[in-house]
Amino acid sequence: MVGTTPVNVPQPAAREFALTARDFDAIRSRVRGAAGIVLGDSKRDLVYGRLGKRLRARGCASFAEYVAFLDGPDGGDEQVELVNALTTNLTGFFREPHHFETLAKTILPALAEAPSRRLRIWSAACSSGEEPYTIAMVLHKAIPDLRGWDARILATDIDTDMIARSRAGLYDVSKAAAIPRDIARGRVIKADADTVEMSPALKDLIRFRPLNLLGPWPFRGMFDVIFCRNVVIYFDKDTQCRLFDRFAEVLPLGGWLFIGHSESLFRVSERFQHLGRTIYRKIR
């Protein structure tokens, strides 16, 4: 018999918290019910990684204890933290730049000719704020004198931590590198060697509000343009259909809708006309 040398195979490190299939199902059921986010089986490691901090904060020794805490009398506030932790917040200034080119060269010049001088843009799921600040920069450059306008940008997100960060308007210098220099001039202020701040003129245009897109919408009036990008990919088809129908209700005929690069309204809504590259207009 030929001898063999034992090989020391690295063993996976023991996890700090127990996460059973039952715990995982309970958590993803809560997230789907609260925010419409669908977490497949492949997201188990993501759930573990992002919620570990919440278990430590609540003094839970396992995910079963954490689920029990969510069901307890103090679980309401933690439900907000749960959704915050499991929300993906990937964004950037001038992300998908063709959308802002259409806004600057097509939409805003047409609206500037309207007699009402009223403009409403909604950045739905605004994350850490780069999208609404980009919209504000484009608006400022396209219509330099806004004193005679009733112009507002509504920026909402389900993640309350992101709303607080957006209101502050402070960003790493490296993120601001995506802003064209001619647009940044006078609108992006150097705070220190590593940080920039959005100007007061940009902040004054935007109203940041926490909002669950699947819950009530506590506002009145119509929007001229809605940005809802890279959000519905986390929803099931029925939820997508309901959401885009609600968007259609707050847009006038001809109102504009921008969605994410991997999203489509094909077999989701027939109330919009596809104009190419994830740009739509309401037709019915």
Q: Which residues are the active-site residues?
A: 50, 157
**Three-state DSSP class for 263?**
coil
Q: How many CA atoms lie within 13 A of 13 on its CB side?
A: 3
For residue 104, the one-letter residue type is A
Task: Find the angle CA(48)-CA(11)-CA(13) to the nearest 5 degrees.
Answer: 35
Sign of CA dihedral 238, 35, 123, 114: positive
Residue 116 CA to residue 105 CA, distance in Å, equals 20
Sign of CA dihedral 175, 181, 184, 189: positive
- How many CB atoms neighbour CB 209 within 10 A? 14
Residue 186 CA to residue 153 CA, distance in Å, equals 20
**Three-state DSSP class for 178?**
coil
Show the tokens assigned to 21.
């299939």
Residue 173 CA to residue 196 CA, distance in Å, equals 6
Q: 14 Cβ partners below 8 Å, 6+ apart? A: none
Q: How many CA atoms lie within 13 A of 246 on its CB side?
A: 15
